[in-house]
């Protein structure tokens, strides 16, 4: 993972994280709508809305800052994807709300871990304080998503049985 040293650099990274999460949750919501899984679509749509709000708050926080222009392929999170982004291959058209929120929970925890590593890194004190605040906020998100997930039962063993699966395009 690249060392983040300044508040401006941190805000650029945090904004990239929130924007990617917004984009992926939107894609997942559209996929679930297309495959007639409206309950999970609504969950992903709500997550996209929340991540979009986080991105907007970051944009407001960055007003007056000259954020570095970092191309997406230059972002180094220590992993291939931004920490809050759910892997595209992790979803399934029959997934349950419990499973969807488990994916969200893992993504939120990865964000906590990322921001905490930045807060404990070699950057300046202002940046470390900012990263610690974002880690604390993400911890609150983890707690909220865990409570949200507890409203749903875990899936049955045969949750993905589909007697009439969709045809693949050739």
Q: What is the pLDDT of residues 145-166, one digit of tens each?
A: 999 999 999 999 989 888 877 7
Residue pair 51/84 in contact by the 8 Å Cβ criterion = yes
pTM, full prediction:
0.89
Burial class (CB in 10 A: 0-12, 13-18, 19+), 26: middle
Instruction: Report how far apart the first and last C-alpha atoms of the chain are (Å, whole number).
Output: 40
What are the structural domains of the chain? 7-149 (1.20.1260.10)
Residue by residue, pLDDT tens for the chain (170 residues) are: 677 888 999 999 999 999 999 999 999 999 999 999 999 999 999 999 999 999 999 889 888 888 888 877 788 887 778 899 898 889 999 999 999 999 999 999 999 999 999 999 888 899 899 999 999 999 999 999 999 999 999 999 989 888 877 766 54
Q: What is the pLDDT of residues 1-11, one digit of tens each?
A: 677 888 999 99
């Amino acid at each position: 993972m690249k060392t983040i040293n300044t508040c401006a650099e941190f805000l650029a990274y945090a904004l990239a994280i929130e924007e990617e999460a917004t984009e992926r949750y939107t894609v997942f919501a559209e996929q679930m709508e297309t495959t007639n899984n409206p309950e999970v679509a609504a969950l992903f749509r709500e997550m996209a809305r929340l991540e979009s709000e986080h991105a907007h708050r970051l944009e407001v926080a960055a007003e007056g800052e000259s954020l570095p222009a970092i191309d997406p392929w230059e972002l180094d999170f220590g992993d291939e994807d931004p920490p809050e982004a759910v892997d595209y291959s992790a979803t399934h058209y029959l997934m349950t709300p419990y499973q969807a929120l488990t994916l969200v929970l893992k993504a939120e925890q990865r964000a906590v871990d990322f921001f905490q590593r930045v807060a404990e890194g070699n950057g300046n004190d202002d940046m470390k304080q900012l990263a610690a605040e974002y880690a604390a906020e993400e911890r609150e998100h983890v707690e909220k998503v865990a409570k949200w997930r507890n409203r749903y039962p875990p899936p049955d063993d045969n949750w993905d049985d589909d007697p009439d699966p969709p045809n693949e395009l050739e």
